[in-house]
Amino acid sequence: MTSPTLLAVERSAADAALQEATRTLLDGVPSILADPIRYALAGDGKRLRPILCAASFRALGGTSEAIHGVGAAIEIIHTYSLVHDDLPCMDDDDLRRGRPTAHRAFGVATATVAGAYMIPLAVRQLLRAVDALGLPPDTRSAMVHELTDAAGAAGMVGGQWLDLAGAEHLDALTDTHRRKTGALMAAAMALGAHAALAPGTVVDAFRLAGLRLGLAFQIHDDVLDETASADVLGKTAGKDRANERVTYTALLGVEEARSRAADAAASAREALASAGVEDSGLFDLLAFAVKRDR
């Protein structure tokens, strides 16, 4: 499993960058909008996506601490998706990251608008980070496309739509997971590679690794929903079973789901190895995705 020290250091850096971004981006924004955004972003998240971005950057020789600003943009997009995912018209959840969900704390209308406002905030933050890194215009453009494509119809939004429609078989469920979770993890790793000015083939390998990792992560989420408690997870446990949703554990059982998650994580590592990447810290993160307890 990933070294606790490594995760703690990386998470601390990700949190600091997110706090700085929040202060800057929300300066002058009315409190009715700024307060729920601050609340959502301050939740006790794993910060795995920003950590993956920074680890990918370093695995390719990047050294600038400004990479954490890119991670902050990714985390803003991720958090917006959680705010909307929890809404009554979607998953209708009351608990997120160990606290009441944003719509429970601020009301449905306010949470909906705040979540939507986080999308342009994320793009503004990404542009700030790219400037701080001193990256060329073509890389700047590629990184904006990377993040927004992952958040759009081919990625997270499309995955949420498929999730609402409800998967009926394993292939449909896999497609949902790859879009809803995999797309942003793919973007996180690809953005780290872009920031390191890696060639296109290497960026592609990192994107593929992130996509496979996202599938592993979400399958493991299905396992945790079945096996862990709400106190450990920080969100409602057992909800998929209660709502009779199709999940990997429902279709395959817990042990086979665990095996599928491990296989997907291993295939993520293979994608990196195919590009000549051998980085123990990054490989540890891939393993962590299917060994975590929440």
Can you give the three-state secondary structure of the chain, one letter per residue? CCCHHHHHHHHHHHHHHHHHHHHHHCCCCCHHHHHHHHHHHCCCCCCHHHHHHHHHHHHCCCCCCCHHHHHHHHHHHHHHHHHHHCCCCCCCCCEECCEECHHHHHCHHHHHHHHHHHHHHHHHHHHHHHHHHCCCHHHHHHHHHHHHHHHCCCCHHHHHHHHHHCCCCHHHHHHHHHHHHHHHHHHHHHHHHHHCCCCHHHHHHHHHHHHHHHHHHHHHHHHHHHHCCHHHHCCCCCHHHHCCCCCHHHHHCHHHHHHHHHHHHHHHHHHHHHCCCCCHHHHHHHHHCCCCCC
- The b-or-e profile of 12-47 (16+ CB within 10 A means b, else e) is ebbbebbeebbeebbeeeeeebbbbbbbbbebebbb
Q: Is residue 81 part of a domain?
A: yes
pLDDT at 241: 64
pLDDT at 109: 95
Check which CATH number belongs to the domain holding 24 and give it.
1.10.600.10
pLDDT at 238: 59
pLDDT at 168: 80
pLDDT at 240: 64
Flag residues of the chain having pLDDT under 50: 1
pLDDT at 1: 44
Q: Is residue 29 part of a domain?
A: yes
pLDDT at 136: 97
For residue 242, what are the domain limits?
Answer: 4-288
d(CA 271, CA 283): 11
Q: Is residue 293 part of a domain?
A: no
Q: Is residue 190 part of a domain?
A: yes
pLDDT at 43: 82
Q: How many domains in the chain? A: 1
Residue 206 CA, chain-centre distance (Å), reads 15
pLDDT at 104: 94
pLDDT at 234: 58
